[in-house]
A = this chain, B = another copy of it.
Amino acid sequence: MSVNILEICKRARAASYELAKLSEENKNAALCQMANALEANADRILEANQKDVQAAKARGLKASLLDRLALDNKKIGNMAKELREVSALADPVGKIESTWTRPNGLIMGLLRVPMGVIGVIYESRPNVTSDSAGICIKSGNAVILRGGSDALNSNVAIGEVLRDALTGTTVPVDAVQVVPSPDRAVAEELMGMREYIDVLVPRGGANLIKTVVEKSRIPVIETGTGNCHIYVSEDADLDQAIPIIINAKCQRPGVCNAAEKLLVDASIAETFLPKAIAALREKGVEIRGDQETKRIVSDVKPATEQDWYTEFLDFIIGVKVVSGLDEAIAHINKYSSKHSEAILTANFDKALKFIKQVDSAAVYWNASTRFTDGNQFGLGAEIGISTQKLHARGPMSIQHLTTTKYFILGRGHIRE
């Protein structure tokens, strides 16, 4: 299919200027239309999805990815529910963040405005199409969606349903555009459209994110990779520690806020590690330990240097014995992907030091890392979890898809 990316980008930019003028009520009405349309057109979406699922089966796509790709009425219902939830969030656009007056009488202010055009490059889950569209529209942005080739038919169908739903609302149809091509060259062309796209958000695995970071000329927000650590200090409540470790590692091992590494103080390792490792193994977790861990629990597989950097996304955990808080912080700052880390301790000073010195988006005291999520933080739906420090760090909610502009009110002011 021949695709004119420049035209898509120009239409998105034009739509963004229309969107920026709309009231919260206008945008909410459109989001509700979109939700209704998903439910009313479930059959059409499922039919397109079946084509993707059949093709993927024929190519031998593995079961876990097939599961992500396949839609059913319940998943479509959840997509609609998500749009309705986004419509209920407070609109950040139009807020005057601050005003002040300069000695020369100029009145200054900072106004919150939409970013403009957001590009989203993502992989197999078709629900990302409608979730991202909803978050972008609520924050006043036009969105260009480029999903993976596996889900092309599903994404195009969802895009058509959402665009049809926008007809007759005040939100321009081109606020939502799905790039109808699985071609890599098309994706790369999109990544060069700095003049038309204000920010690019990759959503998917480490390889996708790496490719976008390397090829994009548009500012990128790096999301998702979570090599998360739990550090058990010598003064931790050990009865609390094991449930937290099990929750962080096992509740959903395939997500970015799952724990991938366990660091334990040397002074408690002899007593604590055998218990913690037994509990993890009972849940089917493979242990990869450093030398000291292997000395204490001899049948542990040795961890490689690469393992300390790896986000396993599986029932695997790296375990290391550390001399204390300073070594734990240094290890985390060296190997972590800067997503989420936890300290388990009864000591306030240690917790405070850990919170201050660990260089990650979310730092926990006596809690599971699994809470790093827009809804769990009370921020509402998120478009990703940023692991970089520019603009947004941690869960990116609608607030983070906006920017500000200065307004300056004069009465003939000139600079001396």
Contact = CB atoms under 8 A, between A and B. Distances in A.
A77 interface: no
A367 B367 CA distance: 53
Contact of A17 (B214, B357, B371, B409): B357
A406 B390 contact: no
Copy number in the complex reads: 2
Nearest to A110: B394
A361 B404 CA distance: 8
A315 interface: no
B116 A367 contact: no
Interface of A: 17, 20-21, 100, 102, 106, 108, 111, 113, 115-116, 194, 198-199, 213-214, 217, 219-221, 237, 240, 243-244, 247-248, 251, 333, 351, 355-357, 359-368, 370-372, 376-378, 388-391, 393-394, 403-415
A212 to B, nearest CB: 11
19 contacts: A102-B376, A102-B377, A102-B378, A106-B371, A113-B356, A219-B219, A219-B220, A219-B388, A243-B412, A248-B414, A251-B414, A355-B405, A361-B405, A362-B407, A365-B409, A368-B410, A368-B415, A370-B415, A371-B415
Given A357-B17, A408-B362, A391 B394 contact: no
Given A194-B213, A247-B414, A393-B404, 10 more contacts: A21-B357, A102-B377, A116-B389, A198-B388, A243-B414, A244-B413, A251-B415, A363-B406, A364-B410, A367-B413
Residue of A333, A356, A412 with most chain B CB atoms under a 10 A cut-off: A412
B217 A213 contact: yes
B415 A362 contact: no
A191 to B, nearest CB: 12
A411 B366 contact: yes
- When A and B form their complex, which 3 residue pairs have the shortest distance between CB atoms, in order from nearest? A367-B410, A247-B414, A391-B391
A284 to B, nearest CB: 18
Contacts of A111: 355-356
Contacts of A408: 362-365, 367, 371
B404 A366 contact: no
A412 B377 contact: no
